[in-house]
Each structure stands twice: as structure tokens, then as C-alpha cells.
């Protein structure tokens, strides 16, 4: 277990799952508002994920300003659905080495985790039995930063979309957010956006990319220039590395850039 404190600006929620697989070693801060651990019955992965996302939605709905630590990207469906209950309009800032813009029709792997942004923009309508009342986010309200590792069909889909693509650079992100206007922003970060050399144990390392320090600067710039109404860190390390000291240090630095102050109770052996 771990310890959490923020400066009062965030309500920390932890969803220790990768798709429908619980991650027992996922670091869960003490005093987190909630750790989402529903009992999922046996069944198809999308059905199990739907139940998990419903539980996450309930937690988000109770939080004034959610900061979510998760083991994957698709649980972002629950966060955005919860925010849409409060905000008529919502923009998305998505920092990721991948585009997460695959769909069941174009994916070569059928990996649901690679479809998360496509889910938010309404491109996977039949994937889940949706009880979240999630409304598609318009492409024009989405900023995708980095996305250096794309499948060919995914690249084509992004090219014909109206998603705004920028580099993972503070100035580029600030400019893109300014162009969105005064609209609440959901900030999503997959840790694999960081240079693979700085991410030992990552599930999907994507080689050379922006440094951890540069991503910290991106987060700080986003918070200074937009109304970040919720934030989400996809902590996509392999299960055996989820609670490594370096993994926790990375989470601590990223959340600090968002204005949160996390403290950790050191696990034995790390």
C-alpha cells in the first residue's frame, strides 16, 4: 500500500486494472478517495470492462476534481462520461506514444487498449454494452500529443479525422489549448509517452521520445493555460514492475507537475 496527500486541488481515485485484469501490486495511495475494485464475474472481456467502468464512473461522479491513476487507457471512458454530467462541452488533451485510435475494424491485434481515444470520439459504438451515457467528444475538441508509434491504418484514420496533432512540447500544447478556447479539459497521459530508456518495465515501450522532464513541463503548461477539470495517468507498467521504486517516482513527478503531492509508504524489498 502507499500514501497519498494532495494540496486540496485533486480527489485521487485509483483503478488498479489493465483491461479486465486486476493488478494486485498496483500502488494505491493511502487516503485516496477510492480504489475501484469491483467483483467481476466470468465472461467476455468487454462485458467485464463495462462493469469495471461503471464502478469507476460512480467514483468519478463523487469526486469534485478527479485525478485517476489506472493501469490502462480505456477506463478513461468512465472519467469522461462522469465529466459530461457536469459540463456541456469538454475537450480532451491526450499525451501518448500511441494514437489509441484503432477500432475493431482496423486493428491488427484486436487489443482493446489501443482503441481508447477512438472510444471517446464515438468510433467504437458496438464494443461495449454502454451504460455510461458517454457522448462522443468531437474531433475538433481533441488534442493528441506525440503519438509517435502508430499502426498504418490508425495513421490513416487520424489523417482523415479532425483531431489536432501536436508534438509533446509545452509551447505546442499551450498553443493548441489556446485555440480550443475557454472549455474544460480532460487531461490524459499514458506513461509510455516518455522516452523508453526512462521507463524500465513498461508494458509498451516506444523507443526514443520526450524525456520525463519535458513531459513534466507539458503538464505544468497545460495546467497554467487551461481549465484542467480532471486528469488521468495510465500507469502501464508490467504487473511485476507496477510498484517498483522507479515507477512510483515517475508517478510522483508527473502528479507533482499537476499540482498534487503524493507520498509513498515504502514496500518491502524495493
* pLDDT of amino acid 1: 30
SS in 3 state form for the chain?
A: CEEECCCCCCEEEEECEECCEECCCCCCEECCCEECCCCCCCCCHHHHHHHHHHHHHHHHHCCCCEEEEECCCCCHHHHHHHHHCCCCCCEEEEEEEECCCCCCCCCCCCCHHHHHHHHHCCCCCCCCCCCCCCCCCCHHHEEEEEEEECCHHHHHHHHHCCCEEECCCHHHHHHHHHHHCCCCEEEEEEHHHCCHHHCCCECCCCCCCCCHHHHHHHHHHHHHHCCEEEEEEECCECHHHCCCHHHHHHHHHHHHHCCCCEECCCCCCC
Query: Could you tell me if residue 146 is inside a domain?
Result: yes
> Are the beta carbons of 13 and 32 closer than 8 angstroms?
yes
Query: Could you tell me if residue 270 is inside a domain?
Result: no
- Look at the chain and report how many structural domains it folds into: 1
Full-model pTM: 0.94
* pLDDT of amino acid 35: 85
Q: Look up the domain containing 160 and give its range.
A: 2-263
Give residue for cell 474531433: 139
Residue 106 carries which DSSP code? T
Q: Quick one: which of 100, 46, 53, 52 has its CA closest to 78?
A: 53
* C-alpha span between 36 and 58 (Å, rounded): 9
> Are the beta carbons of 38 and 3 closer than 8 angstroms?
no
* C-alpha span between 84 and 63 (Å, rounded): 13
Given a cut of 50, the residues of the chain with pLDDT beneath it are: 1-7, 269-270
* C-alpha span between 175 and 111 (Å, rounded): 32
Query: Could you tell me if residue 230 is inside a domain?
Result: yes
Indicate the burial class of 138 (C-beta count within 10 angstroms; 0-12, 13-18, 19 or more): middle
* pLDDT of amino acid 252: 94
Query: Could you tell me if residue 217 is inside a domain?
Result: yes
CATH of the domain at 103: 3.40.800.10
Cell of residue 260, nine digits: 498534487
Query: Could you tell me if residue 269 is inside a domain?
Result: no
* C-alpha span between 215 and 154 (Å, rounded): 24
Cell of residue 175, nine digits: 498553443
Q: How far from the centroid of its chain's Cα atoms is residue 163's Cα?
A: 17
Query: Could you tell me if residue 129 is inside a domain?
Result: yes
* C-alpha span between 138 and 196 (Å, rounded): 31
* C-alpha span between 129 and 113 (Å, rounded): 17
* pLDDT of amino acid 28: 86
Amino acid at each position: 500500500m502507499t500514501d497519498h496527500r494532495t494540496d486540496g486541488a485533486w480527489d485521487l481515485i485509483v483503478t488498479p486494472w489493465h483491461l479486465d485484469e486486476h493488478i494486485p501490486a498496483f500502488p494505491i495511495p493511502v487516503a485516496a478517495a477510492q480504489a475501484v475494485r469491483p467483483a467481476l464475474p466470468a465472461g467476455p472481456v468487454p462485458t467485464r470492462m463495462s462493469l469495471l467502468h461503471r464502478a469507476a464512473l460512480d467514483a468519478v461522479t463523487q469526486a469534485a476534481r478527479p485525478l485517476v491513476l489506472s493501469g490502462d487507457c480505456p477506463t478513461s471512458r468512465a472519467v469522461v462520461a462522469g465529466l459530461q454530467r457536469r459540463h456541456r462541452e469538454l475537450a480532451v488533451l491526450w499525451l501518448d506514444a500511441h494514437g489509441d485510435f484503432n477500432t475493431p475494424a482496423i486493428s491488427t491485434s484486436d487489443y482493446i487498449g489501443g482503441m481508447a481515444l477512438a472510444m471517446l470520439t464515438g468510433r467504437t459504438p458496438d464494443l461495449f454494452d454502454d451504460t455510461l451515457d458517454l457522448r462522443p467528444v468531437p474531433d475538433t475538441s481533441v488534442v493528441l500529443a506525440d503519438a509517435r508509434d502508430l499502426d498504418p491504418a490508425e495513421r490513416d484514420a487520424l489523417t482523415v479525422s479532425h483531431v489536432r496533432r501536436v508534438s509533446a512540447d509545452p509551447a505546442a500544447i499551450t498553443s493548441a489549448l489556446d485555440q480550443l478556447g475557454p472549455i474544460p479539459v480532460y487531461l490524459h497521459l499514458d506513461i509510455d509517452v516518455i522516452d523508453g530508456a526512462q521507463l524500465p518495465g513498461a508494458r509498451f515501450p516506444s523507443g526514443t521520445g520526450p524525456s520525463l522532464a519535458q513531459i513534466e513541463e507539458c503538464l505544468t503548461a497545460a495546467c497554467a493555460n487551461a481549465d484542467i477539470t480532471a486528469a488521468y495517468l495510465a500507469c502501464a507498467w508490467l504487473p511485476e514492475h507496477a510498484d517498483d521504486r522507479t515507477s512510483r517516482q515517475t508517478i510522483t513527478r508527473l502528479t507533482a507537475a499537476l499540482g498534487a503531492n503524493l507520498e509513498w509508504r515504502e514496500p518491502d524489498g524495493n
